[in-house]
Structures are given as C-alpha cells and as structure tokens.
Chain A
Amino acid sequence: MAQNTTQHNIRTTDIDKKIVSSIDNGILIVDEELTVHHYNKWLELQTKIKESDILGKKLGDIFPSINTKTLLRKIKTALRMGTPTFYTASTSKYLIPIKINQIKNSNFTHMQQDVSIIPFDHEKKQVALILTDQTIMAQTHVLLQENIKKVEELNAQLLKEKEHSQRQHKQLLAHSRSAAMGEMISMIAHQWRQPLSLINTIIAGLQLKQEMQILTKENMHSSFEKVEKTVFYLSETINDFRDYFKPNKTITEVNLSELFNKSMYFLTNEITQSDIQYNANIDTNIVIQTYKNELLQCIINIIKNSLDAFLESDIKEKKISINAEKKGDMIFITIQDNAGGIEEEILNKIFEPYFSTKSKNGTGLGLYMCKTIISEHLHGKITVESQNNSTTTLMELPYKLEKKQ
C-alpha cells in the first residue's frame, strides 16, 4: 500500500513536472519577498533567462519594469484570501517583459499577458504566477476598436450628410412651392386675359358712345352689369385657385373624373389656344381616397408640361389622352401626349431638382415636386416613358390612402 502511494506520488510529480515544463504558459513561483523558486521551460525560452540563473533572485531585480508594490499587494491578497488574484492584459498589458519577434501586423512591442496569482504554499508564503499570452486577443481588440472608431466616424458623417440632404430637400420644397405659386399666377393671368379684355371693350364702347353723345341710361346700366358680372368671375377665379392650391390636411373621397374636369377648368384656355385635342377616358364611378389638392397639383403640372412641350414643337395633330384604371388596391392613371417625346439620356434626370429642358420659364422643380408629393404624401409611384414622339406619365396611387405620414 505504502509502495503504491509512493509510486503514485512519483508518477504524479513526474506528470506535474512534465506538464509544467511543456505547457504553453509561463509558470513561476515566488514568495512574499518576490524571491524566485521556480521558473518553467516556457519562461526560459521566452525571456532567454535560464532557471538556474534566476532561482533565489528577486523578480524585481531581474525585471526592473515590474511594479513591485502592486505585485506584492496582489500576492498578499491571494495568500490572505486563499483564492487567486489577477492581472489582465486589457488593463495591465504585461508583467514579465517579453519582446515580440513577429514584427508584421503588431501594435505591441511586448507580449500582452493575463496573469493568475495562485496561492501555492501557505506556510512558505509562496504563490504561483501563471502567464498566458494574450497578444493575439489584444491585437484583435485593437483592430476591433479601430474599426469601431471608423464605423462611428462613417456613421457620424452619414448622419451629417443625411441632415444636409434633409435641409436641402426642405429648401427645394420651399422653392417648389414658390414655383407652383408662379405657375398659379401665370394660370390666373391666362384666365383673366379674356375677361379683362371684355371689361376694356365695354369701357371703350361706353367712352365711344359718350363722345358720340348717344350714351343712354340703358346702355350704361347694361354695361355696368356686364362689368360687374365679369369682375365677379375674376374674383371667383382667384377663389378657385386659392381653394385648389392650398394643401389638404385631411384625406377625402375624390371623384377622379371630376378632378380631371377641374384641371381642365384651369387649363382649358391654353388647350384651346394651342389647338390640342384633349381626350379623357375615365370611368365616372371611380372614387378614390386621397389628398385632393395635392393630386390636382400633380395632374395640372404634368398636363402643363405637355402644353409647354407642344409650344416648343411643331406637331400637326396635337393630342393629350388621359386614362384611369383600377387594379386591385391601386389606381393607374396615364397621361399621354404626342409632343415630341423625351430623349433617352435625359429621361432618368427629369425628376431631379432644377432639371429643365424648357427654353424659358422652366424652374426645373415641377416634376421633382410631383414625385415628392406622390411618393411621400400620396404613397404612390410616378414613372415616365417615352417612345417615338409620345411621352406617357404613369401614376400608381393607392385606391384608399389610409393616413398622412
């Protein structure tokens, strides 16, 4: 039995020794005075100091970079507690200075170490220091931190750019609104031209009759009535424009056919003057839920673009055709003209702000505003296709728009 125990002890000691000498960790034993009592093979190889040269010497004398005050505190605490104390590479970098051979891709000159200080012999006040190489982990950590910093910087830049773009977008919308106002004034001018000329004629007639001294009370009364009626019409025109160009706050039910008729009310003078054949094929029963005035603005804008295109082309049979069709939950509206078409290379730029092909009075904001209104407010889509001499604008809109964003 005694022999077995001895054999067991020898074998265990042998195993322990082998493990301690071949393990991929540094193991050294020191006492409370920091005198070295064991220095394993790994440490010999890494520090190029033989165990025989270090045994009995003070650790602080061999490695002056060690903060002996902190080390002694940790040793005493470990012995007092009977449980380990530690150094971690993340805060303490290293205990034993071991230069790194690998020059490539390293942020460190010395091996980064985790160190466990384990109570070894309470009577002799000895502890075992176990060193683990954490250089790769530390290197990975540094790389990770660098990349996190880069990502944070990129993110901050992105946020800045987003803010800038949002600011720009707001400015553009403000410009668009001014441009739309300009369009409106131009349309009012169109509407007013004829009644103003009528008033002018009535007044000229009155003057002529007075000069010829044939002006009667009846003449005057009838002329004033006509002027009054015409002025009322002028005033009504302004009210109509104001009502229809004010953005809607609420979603309402809109009869699509009536909405197109309304657009014609604003554009009919120009269509007639340009001798354009206007044809709308819209089911009178189609009623959609949307922001009425916003949609009307888009329709007028698109038809106005066709009218302007006709002004700059020399087309014989001018045509604008409107079609509307309900498919599932969506309404598909197409506005087609034969005003010459759009060249392919500029087709993908037409929704960009400040892009205009018009020779005069083009702000380049009309289609940009249409796209913004349709995608952001009406939750739809607008696309433009061009073939031969014809341009087709397709608007896809939800049949029932739920709520404003």
Chain B
Amino acid sequence: MQKFTLSEDEQDVLQELMNVAYGNATAVVAEMLDAFASLSIPNIKVMPTKELLQTFQKLKESSYFFSTQAFNGEFNGESAFFINEKSAQNLAKHLELETQEDLDDAILELTNVLTSTLTTKLAQEMSTEVSFSLPSISKIPLSEIENIDTFLQYSQVIVIDTELNFQDQKINGNIFILTKDESIQWLKIQLNTILEQLI
C-alpha cells in the first residue's frame, strides 16, 4: 500500500509541478475561450478507486456532464472531467454556441485542453512524453458511470480538483487524473529524482 501512496515531500513536489502545469492550462484555456480565466490552486489527493467512485456518484447527483480521455506513454492513464449543467450553459453562452452538438464539442475540447496541458507539462518536467488517442475522448451519459468497468483497473487515483473562473461567468469543472499503480510507482521515482536534485 505504501508504495502507491505519496509521501509529504512527494506530494509537495507534485503540487508545485501541478501549479506550473495549471498556470499553463489557464493560459491555454483563456486563449481558447478568448476570455480572462483563472484557476484555483489545484487540490491534489491520492485516493483509492472506491472512494473516487463515491465522489463520482456525488457529482452525478448535481447533474454533471462527464467526459473521459486516455493518455499514453511512461506516464499513462485516463482523465475524467465533470462540468455541471449551469457551467455548461455558461460555456455555451460565452462561445455563442447554438446547438447541443456544438456544446458537447466544446466540453470535449475543454477536457482535451485540461488533460493535455496538465499531463504534457507534468511529463515534460519528468523528461518523458505523453500522447493522446482520439477515440478515447467521448461524452459519456452520466447514467453509465457505474458501467465503466475500466475505472476498476485503477487501484489508486491521483485526483486533481480545481475550479475554473471566466470573468463574471462562472464555469466550474472538476478534473480527475486516473493512473494505474505502475504509473504511480513511476511517478514516485521521478518525483524522488527531482527531490534529490533539489537537495
């Protein structure tokens, strides 16, 4: 169990890296949406999948859109993005989207931007690369969350939770980066290498 949890130091380094990655993500999202955007300081937690599914269940109750995207490489896994209905409406208003399809596309784009910027930056800091496969990005109906067996492949999950704000239009989103045990082990090694370099 110990090998899949992060020590305080490891968590600190990951938090720093994530802050940098989030700075990057904020800038990209702001450009993408052509609006001033800010992101709250990401809250990082490593939690067992069981706990994660309970969190998903809670999010589901407040009628969220939900999408996933896979990423591959030495650091691999899946991201899950939740955005509530009000935020989705705000996003549609801001981007002047007229159809449900356009809104779905924008949510998927936001998922992709957040996943890509976060994981790419994280990978860069750890001298590796990640790639993103298109077919894995999809909007999944909330009723099917329980049926996503793939989530059960993860025993521990890094959860990065943040809030996005666009000018006066509030758009809240929660992104979860899910990685398998071997990726967490790999991440621990990389974080420790960075820690050693700092000493």
Contact residues of A with B, CB < 8 Å? Answer: 67, 70, 73-74, 76-77, 80-88, 90-93, 114, 116, 132
Given contacts A77-B28, A77-B113, A91-B104, contact A86 B134 (CB under 8 A): yes
Q: Please, what's the 1-or-0 string for B48-63, where 1 marks a CB less than 8 Å from any CB in chain A?
A: 0000000000000000
Contact digits for B124-162, partner A, Cβ 8 Å, 1 yes 0 no: 000000001011011100000000000000000000000
List residues of chain A with CB within 8 A of the CB of B31.
76-77, 80
Are A114 and B135 interface neighbours, CB within 8 A?
Answer: yes
Contacts of A92 in B (CB 8 A): 101, 105
Inter-chain CA distance A73–B110, complex, in Å, is 12
Bound form: Cα–Cα A20–B95 in Å: 35
Q: How far is the CB of A68 from chain B (nearest CB, A)?
A: 13
Q: How far is the CA of A91 from the CA of B102 in the complex (A)?
A: 7
Contact between A81 and B102, CB atoms less than 8 A apart: no
With most chain B CB atoms within 10 A of its CB, the pick from A76, A85, A114 is: A85
Which residues of A have CB within 8 Å of B139? 90-91
Q: Write 21 A-B pairs (CB below 8 A) sorted by A numbering.
A: A67-B102, A74-B109, A76-B31, A77-B109, A80-B27, A80-B28, A81-B28, A81-B113, A81-B117, A84-B112, A84-B116, A84-B132, A85-B112, A85-B113, A86-B108, A87-B105, A88-B105, A88-B138, A90-B139, A91-B139, A93-B101
A127 to chain B, nearest CB (A): 14
Find the B residue at minimum CB distance from A90: B138
Judge whether A84 and B134 touch: CB under 8 Å: yes
B91 to A: closest C-beta gap in Å: 13
Q: Is B189 interfacial (CB 8 A cutoff)?
A: no
Rounded to whole Å, the gap between the CB of B33 and the closest CB of chain A is 8
Complex CA–CA separation, A114 to B132 (angstroms)? 14
Q: Collect the chain A residues with CB atoms within 8 Å of residue B195's CB.
A: none
| Nearest-neighbor residue (CB-CB) of B104 within chain A | A91
- Asked if A91 and B101 make an inter-chain contact with CB atoms under 8 angstroms apart, the answer reads yes
Residue contact B120 to A116, C-beta cutoff 8 Å: no
Instruction: Kindly provide the distance from the CB of B37 to the nearest chain A CB, expressed in whole angstroms.
Output: 13
Instruction: Write out the residue numbers on chain B whose beta carbons fall within 8 Å of the beta carbon of A87.
Output: 105
Complex CA gap A274/B4 in Å reads 87
B13 CB–A CB distance under 8 Å: no
Which residue of A85, A90, A132 contacts B109 across the interface (Cβ within 8 Å)?
A85
Residue picked from B134, B135, B138, most chain A C-beta under 10 Å: B134
**Residues of B with C-beta under 8 A to A80:** 27-28, 31-32
> Would A77 and B32 count as touching, CB distance under 8 A?
yes
Cβ–Cβ < 8 Å partners of B112 in chain A: 84-86
Q: Is the CB of B105 within 8 A of A70?
A: yes
CB neighbours (8 Å) of A77 from chain B are: 28, 31-32, 109, 113
- Residues in A neighbouring B137, C-beta threshold 8 A: 86, 88
Known: A73-B32, A88-B138, A91-B139. A83 touches B132 (CB 8 A): yes
Q: How far is the CB of B126 from chain A (nearest CB, A)?
A: 16
Chain A residue with the shortest CB-CB distance to B96: A69
In angstroms, Cα B104 to Cα A169, docked, is 48
Q: Tell me if A88 and B28 are in contact (CB < 8 A).
A: no
